[in-house]
Amino acid sequence: MTFARTALLLIAMTFALTAPPARALDARHLAVIINTADPLSVRIGEYYAAQRRISFQNIIRVAFPADRTTLTRKEFEDIKEIVDKKAMRRIQAFALTWAVPYRVECMSITSAFAFGYDPAFCEPGCKPTRPSPYFNSRASLPFAQLGMRPAMAIAATSFEHAKELIDRGVESDGKFPNGAAYLLSTSDPARNVRSAAYQTARRVIDGRIPVSILKQDSLEGASDVLFYFTGKHAVQGLQTLRFVPGAIADHLTSFGGNLSRQDGGQMSALRWLEAGATGSYGTVVEPCNLLQKFPDPARVTASYLKGDTLIEAYWKSVAMPGQGIFIGEPLAAPFRRQASAPE
């Protein structure tokens, strides 16, 4: 080997070691899972794939009952086996295209797809559960680096709602919106525990976007909502708000992830998406108010503002996500300077 060739090789190796890692979660690395037994899932999946220019090779079709909220472990494992066989090695994350079912026994369906069914992620109920290796992670390739594929449900009760959600996510890309963060400290002591993290979130966000920490039970009339975190069984005033495309909003309560109904008056996380948010989160079984089981406002905002996609930022903010379902448009990336082009 000549000196010149050796020098070029050394330069190339140095560049490979020092170059920043490419972001992984774009259309090339997302598999869209469609339930062919559910006409709404089919319609959502096909529309999403078209809008995000997702390759037909990344679309995985399975069939299972769509008329109940919960799958058994055996039913799910049969579905997961098919999905894993069809998922190419480049697939790093899953987009689910339904709202129901949202549970696999005691796990949320997004966590079950991410980790496989494992009761350690959801039992015993109110106690700490198995942590996620993706929490606060620097991994850009979660499957290649951590052996798990984060999942998010493009959940909706109608195609019109799903279309609006998807369109908002696509519209948000690279827009660096002039939105604000609203962190509400409510009068509900059991559900207001997350307010202890608000000052940390303020320090993270400060200088990037306006932040309001408010001692009140609801927000009304705001027209620039980018982040909205609160703790209430149900949130009033959503119809008065305007969420900017790409907005993230959720409420800490026991059953926000029960997407098809209200449990004891607890609001479904779907109400956030229907009001104009692009991503939300809720738990599907009683988690108690352990902070590790809910999104950390400081971490989700920090990740999102530095350019992570919605699915990356949200997943990295929950330490114990086994009982929680992530819903929204996975690839929304308002603060990413340049999205990668699909293959």
Given a contact cutoff of 8 angstroms between Cβ atoms, the answer to whether 168 and 278 are in contact is yes
- For the chain, what is the mean pLDDT? 91
* Alpha carbons 193 and 291: distance in angstroms, whole number: 7
pLDDT tens for each residue of 83-113: 999 999 999 999 999 999 999 999 999 999 9
- Evaluate whether 93 touches 154 at the Cβ level (below 8 Å): no
Q: Give per-residue burial for 154-177: e unless 16+ CB within 10 Å, then b.
A: bbbbeeebbbbbbebbbbbbeeeb
With a threshold of 0.85, does the pTM exceed it? yes
Helix (H) or strand (E) holding 221: none
Distance CA 215, CA 288 (A): 23
What local confidence, expressed as pLDDT, does residue 3 receive?
Answer: 31
Pairing of strands 225-230, 180-185: parallel
224 Cβ partners below 8 Å, 6+ apart? 178, 179, 180, 210, 242, 244
- Helix or strand run (H / E) with residue 232: none
Cα 107 from Cα 113, distance rounded (Å): 10
- With beta carbons less than 8 A apart as the criterion, state whether 342 and 53 touch: yes
pLDDT of amino acid 229: 98
In this structure, what token pair is assigned to residue 91? 């697939």
- Tens-digit pLDDT profile for the chain (343 aa)? 333 333 333 333 332 322 333 455 899 999 999 999 999 999 999 999 999 999 999 999 999 999 999 999 999 999 999 999 999 999 999 999 999 999 999 999 999 999 999 999 998 879 999 999 999 999 999 999 999 999 999 999 999 999 999 999 999 999 999 999 999 999 999 999 999 999 999 999 988 999 999 999 999 999 999 999 999 999 999 999 999 999 999 999 999 999 987 666 899 999 999 999 999 999 999 999 999 999 999 999 999 999 999 999 999 999 999 999 999 999 999 999 864 444 4
Retrieve residue 274's tokens. 């229907």
Q: Which tokens is 316 given? A: 């990295």
Q: How far apart are CA 156 and CA 158, in angstroms?
A: 5
Q: Where are the domains of the chain?
A: 23-176+243-343
Please report the beta strands in 166-308, taking only residues with DSSP state E, as ranges in sequence order. 180-185, 211-215, 225-230, 243-251, 279-283
